[in-house]
A and B are shown apart, each in its own frame.
Chain A
Amino acid sequence: MGEPGTKEILSLEELEAAGSFRTGRKHIVSILVENKPGVLTRITGLFARRGFNIDTLAVGPTDDETVSRITLTLDGAVQSIDQVTKQLHKLINVLKIRDLDPSETMARELALFKISADGANRAEVMQVCEIFRAKIVDVSKRTLVAEVTGTQEKIDAFERLVRPFGLVEMARTGEIAITRGRTET
């Protein structure tokens, strides 16, 4: 790659190759933070500065009211995410960080799908919902809303199946996760 401060002209291909951080390896990072203003911004800022794209982000309370849990998922990086987690540790309001191993982790996401379902295909949509153990939480003349819980992959699959019926809109929470067995997340 071109050296800084010299007049060498860089090709776009070279620049793009060097700037590509994605490998496809997914990370689920679980972060316990003190419940203080601005914490989330500091955390997302650290990822952004290093070129990581946060895929999903979920924030909620824990059993301790002064502590919140942030769960975020990332598409992995050429460089390990160690450098980011070390930087996260340096944030004063961050208490604990775990880069969760997918095989040791239960991850779940909740999604709401508003699907076109007028007369003709309603039964078929409801059948798909049943297979996915999706709950129908709202019905109108032309649409119904299905609530589905599961892994990211399951929700992706559900989406693929209902899309042909006409997907009006969809909302997903992003995954939350907890480790299997006795080990603490």
Chain B
Amino acid sequence: MRAVDALMECLKAEGVDVVFGLPGGANLPTYDAFYDAGIRHILVRHEAGGGHAAEGYAKATGRVGVALGTSGPGATNLVTPICDAMMDSVPVVFLTGQVRTELLGTDGFQEADTIGITMPIVKHSVMIQHPLELPRAIHEAFHIARTGRPGPVVVDIPTDLSRADIPYEPITDIHLPGYQPTTDGNQKQIRLAAKALANARRPVIYAGGGTLDASAELTELATSDRLPVTCTVMGLGAFPASHPQWLGMLGMHGTRTANYAMDEADLIVAIGARFDDRVTAKLSEFAPHAKFVHIDVDPAEISKNVPAHIPIVGYARNILPRLTAEYRALEPDPSRLDEWWHRIRSWQERYPLSYVDSTDSEIKPQYMVQALYEASQGDAIVCSDVGQHQMWAAQHYHFDKPRRWINSGGLGTMGFGLPAAMGAKVGCPEATVVCITGDGSFQMNTQELATCAQNGIDVKVFIMNNGYLGMVRQWQELFWDRRYSQVDTGQYPDFVKLAEAYGATGLRLTDKHTLVDDMREALVTEGPVVVDVRVAPEENVYPMIAPGQPARNMVG
């Protein structure tokens, strides 16, 4: 069979049920194979949309996403999703077309050095050099993408090789001598960690995106005693936000309680988190009293930013049950945490997340998220873009389950939200999928509304429209003497008309009194819906750790 037909067999063997892509000259053979391969292909309107859709699919389902693009511009358009997937450890396989081998390096039409361009932002990449290599390369790509610390893998396929006739035999053995991730965690280290935890008087569990597939195990550990839990923006939902041991998100726009608890903790158990600068704030004054247990599958994260006293390398889902068992066996005295909880409760009472509501019908952006939480009964998959709306959504939409909150945390990619929501909905057709976006972010991949309309992908987009690139405006207001430089978007375009032009339903909401009901209606309207919610233009995200400050100096 042709190498591209073998490619289809490989995708099926990997359990791929959907791919997102856009054809072009160099991947014509691949698209010919898709014609009757029986794999669902969703035609996106821009490769970046396809890449983010594959990410949204992967983040919502936990399975490997697949995105395709042609050579040259098709591949360069995928660069942002590839980098985004790298930063947030999202398992995605990117299949790019490449010019035929005799044109390689000659500046052929639509030629780009895809492997070279993407090298620093992939978990792994390979250009097929011989058609017989293709099946193994595909299976290795999936294996590498999904195991260890997940991430993006690029497979670049020259068009002539993809048409070669090759014998195909299923491949079941993958052997990569240079890739043997440590997944189990060292028992001695686990015992040490349990002991440290049992002796701690002010412990905090700090959980990141690496706990999304260890949610039950994380909850079990935390509730085996009264261990307080905070999550990063990537980890929201790994521990139920409705649980009394939940401190809220931590970091730059986290709760005071979570940040103060980190600041005063004597032991921090970091699980699948990487001490990002948005979490530590001023690194030299981060958690000054704490010892650190650091559990992560990636050894390069251990002691990268904060030296770990007890490092444990492996999957959280493998390590946490054993840590819980060791901890229980020590029969720690639960009353030693009384004083700590007393202090935590006093912060929670003094510093709840709050804002000043309008006295008229004006919609405050925070209220917009609360209204959406109410209208969707807190049970939606929420995809967000990047900016103020992202932080408000993270603060005010409470996630009780993992994989319900999908955002671009590491790279902070505006334009991520709509295509990610599209991918999440395709992966979870039964779920209500909403996209909370800003008027700035939404315009960076609006074209995917056409994909949603054409394929009946039922996403509900709620635009927090304040007519500004709001987060930049906030920083200019607070730290640059209110010199608003190039942040006013003038509330263009008319999103209702735009939605209609794309074949979606468009709505505009301006009154907070009817907001919940109006949103409910939007949610039950069939097909993709775009809701232009006009909100207070100059609201700021608080609380906030100002740049260069330690967490204890939070403002607002």
A residues whose Cβ falls under 8 Å from a Cβ of B = 3-7, 33-34, 37-38, 41-42, 45, 49, 82-83, 86-87, 89-95
CB neighbours (8 Å) of A37 from chain B are 127, 129
CB neighbours (8 Å) of A93 from chain B are 178
**Interface residues of B toward A: which range?**
20 to 34
CB neighbours (8 Å) of B303 from chain A are 82
A82–B305 alpha-carbon span in the complex (Å): 12
Contact present for B300 and A87 (CB under 8 Å): yes
Contact present for B177 and A34 (CB under 8 Å): yes
A7–B481 alpha-carbon span in the complex (Å): 9
A176–B289 alpha-carbon span in the complex (Å): 46
Contact present for B144 and A92 (CB under 8 Å): yes
CB neighbours (8 Å) of B127 from chain A are 37-38
CB neighbours (8 Å) of B300 from chain A are 83, 86-87, 89-90
Contact present for B178 and A95 (CB under 8 Å): yes
Q: Which of B23-31, B114-122, B507-515 contacts A (4 or more CB under 8 A)?
A: B114-122
Scan B426-450; emit 1 where CB is below 8 A from any A CB, else 0: 0000000000000000000000000
Closest to A38 in B: B115
Choose among A6, A38, A45, A92 the residue that contacts B479 (Cβ–Cβ < 8 A): A6
A38–B128 alpha-carbon span in the complex (Å): 12
Choose among A4, A38, A82, A95 the residue that contacts B177 (Cβ–Cβ < 8 A): A95
Choose among B125, B179, B480 the residue that contacts A7 (Cβ–Cβ < 8 A): B480
10 CB contacts below 8 A, A to B, read A6-B548, A34-B178, A37-B129, A38-B115, A38-B127, A41-B116, A41-B119, A42-B119, A83-B300, A87-B300
Q: Verify if B547 is at the interface (C-beta below 8 Å from A).
A: yes
Scan B465-491; emit 1 where CB is below 8 A from any A CB, else 0: 000000000010001110000000000
**Most chain-B Cβ atoms within 10 A of its Cβ — which of A3, A38, A86, A90?**
A90
A95–B127 alpha-carbon span in the complex (Å): 20
Contact present for B119 and A5 (CB under 8 Å): no
- Given A5-B547, A34-B177, A92-B176, does the pair A45, B299 have CB atoms closer than 8 Å? no
A93–B122 alpha-carbon span in the complex (Å): 13
A91–B129 alpha-carbon span in the complex (Å): 19
- Given A6-B548, A86-B299, does the pair A94, B119 have CB atoms closer than 8 Å? no
Contact present for A5 and B178 (CB under 8 Å): no
Please provide the chain B residues from 118 to 159 with a CB less than 8 Å away from any CB of chain A in the complex.
119-120, 123-125, 127, 129, 144
CB neighbours (8 Å) of B179 from chain A are 92
Q: Verify if B217 is at the interface (C-beta below 8 Å from A).
A: no
CB neighbours (8 Å) of A42 from chain B are 119
CB neighbours (8 Å) of B125 from chain A are 38
A91–B299 alpha-carbon span in the complex (Å): 13
Q: Verify if B532 is at the interface (C-beta below 8 Å from A).
A: no
Q: Verify if B304 is at the interface (C-beta below 8 Å from A).
A: yes
Q: Verify if B263 is at the interface (C-beta below 8 Å from A).
A: no
Closest to B127 in A: A37
Contact present for A6 and B547 (CB under 8 Å): yes
Given contact pairs A38-B115, A83-B300, A90-B298, a sample of 9 additional A-B residue pairs in the complex whose CB atoms are under 8 Å apart? A3-B548, A5-B479, A6-B480, A6-B547, A6-B548, A41-B119, A49-B120, A82-B303, A95-B177
**Most chain-B Cβ atoms within 10 A of its Cβ — which of A4, A33, A93?**
A93
CB neighbours (8 Å) of B177 from chain A are 34, 95
Can you list the 4 inter-chain pairs with the closest CB atoms, starting with the nearest? A3-B548, A86-B300, A3-B547, A92-B124
